[in-house]
Amino acid sequence: QGLCRGLQRDRASARMAGVKGEPPPALMCPLTMNLMRDPVKDANGHTFERSAIYRVLLIQPGICPLTYRPYLKGNARLTPNCAVRSMLDAFNKAAEERLDPKRRGGCGGRAQRQKQGSRDRGKGRCSEAEARRRKTQSANGQETECRRMAEPSIQDPRREVDVAQLERDEDLRGLVRALEDTSMEGCSAEAAGALRNLIVANGANKAAVVLEGALPRLVKLLSDGSDEGRAKAAYALWNLACGNTAIKASVVEAGAIPRLVELLYGGSDEGRVNAAGVLSNLAMGNSLAADANRAAIAQAGANPVLVDLLSDGSDDVRAGAAGALKNLAAGEDTIKADIARAGAIPRLVELMRDGSEKGKAKAAGALRNLTCGHAANKAAMVAAGAIPWLVKLLSSGSREGRANAERALENCGSGAPQFRTFP
């Protein structure tokens, strides 16, 4: 009973604030200082606008933005704040009534309508000429008092609510739920594709996608979906993992690596390209986390599969496989040796000879990393006839291809100044 009385007092207070047009601090998001529309409460009891806390947790995952201390077990445990939502409803209703008296209920509203009716009867029906004059004035921009009161004023606090953002949040929840929808063929694939488009359109959407629980559903779709669904799930994960260490760690923890290797084995060409892209992103960098990812990818058996795709796939598949091997070869010597034992070096030379421009650049990058500090791989590259093709790439390749070719030649002691043909 005490709790109910407290909620009633809070609603009454919010309603009075709405009548005055001054939102109370309890309804303002501490991050944006705007009126909340979708309030959520974190593990510490703080209330935020859902979209605002999502964006903050993307930058500082697991850290409370008000106390700057880690949440317990790094989990913010965001839940809807029903009490604040109830206060917001009361405030918004009162604000609407203040702006439009016609919507106001109760005795006060009836008294005002009766008073207005008496005034109209006292005036009588206006003449036809007077009606035309008023219509002309309205057309010229001289609005009546009724129209002015019906329109939101500049001070209306509802103007601070990003309605479009709230609609996008609701759409996002629907897309995440649709990832597991098996009632209609192609539904989960379309949802995965739409999520990928949201991420590409705005990088800030990454946090919302992850916090809404999309990541484990996408990982599951890698093996449980149709060929189209698996490919689009990999594409969404590829964009999610790009440039974000925390999300990369979450992708690995969700068990994505073995499923991505399975997709390399038996997926469509699109699925293989996207799977190679995710593995390439996970293996990128010089951090301890990147080293651990490279080891996990090698342990899952990805290296020989990627080497086979260097010659057995389409141009895009071959380029994607070479790009993944390039980042994998940036790790420890044991991984470099494993890739070489799988027969990568002669196939990379073949790709430099007859592949696409992108494939040639990625192949040169893979050879560059394979031969960095590894004498056996240097000898194998020379024996495979790579030097003439690297030299040719210096003058006719893309900027990435020329840079990779020069470094690969330098690794073998063949980077003479006359080969340097770009700044």
Instruction: Answer whether residue 351 shows pLDDT above 80.
Output: yes
Instruction: Answer whether residue 148 shows pLDDT above 80.
Output: no
Instruction: Answer whether residue 353 shows pLDDT above 50.
Output: yes
pLDDT attached to residue 99 = 60
pLDDT attached to residue 170 = 58
pLDDT attached to residue 161 = 36
Instruction: Answer whether residue 115 shows pLDDT above 70.
Output: no
* Confidence grade of residue 169 (pLDDT, cut at 50, 70, 90): low
CB atoms within 10 A of CB 39: 21
Instruction: Answer whether residue 10 shows pLDDT above 70.
Output: no
Instruction: Answer whether residue 296 shows pLDDT above 50.
Output: yes
Instruction: Answer whether residue 82 shows pLDDT above 50.
Output: yes
pLDDT attached to residue 32 = 84
* Confidence grade of residue 138 (pLDDT, cut at 50, 70, 90): very low
pLDDT attached to residue 349 = 95
pLDDT attached to residue 269 = 94
pLDDT attached to residue 112 = 52
Share of the chain above pLDDT 90, in %: 39
Instruction: Answer whether residue 1 shows pLDDT above 50.
Output: no
Q: Average pLDDT, whole number, for the chain?
A: 78
pLDDT digits (tens, 9 = 90+) for 217-236: 999 999 988 899 999 999 99
Instruction: Answer whether residue 294 shows pLDDT above 80.
Output: yes
pLDDT attached to residue 291 = 93
Poorest-confidence range of 57-71, 241-255, 328-342, 362-376?
Answer: 57-71
Whole-prediction pTM value? 0.62
pLDDT digits (tens, 9 = 90+) for 258-273: 999 999 988 899 999 9
Q: Which residues pair with 70 in a beta bridge?
A: 63
pLDDT digits (tens, 9 = 90+) for 366-375: 999 999 999 9
pLDDT attached to residue 252 = 93
pLDDT digits (tens, 9 = 90+) for 86-111: 888 888 887 777 665 555 554 444 44
Instruction: Answer whether residue 380 shows pLDDT above 60.
Output: yes
Instruction: Answer whether residue 166 shows pLDDT above 50.
Output: no
The residue among 407 and 312 whose pLDDT is bigger is 407
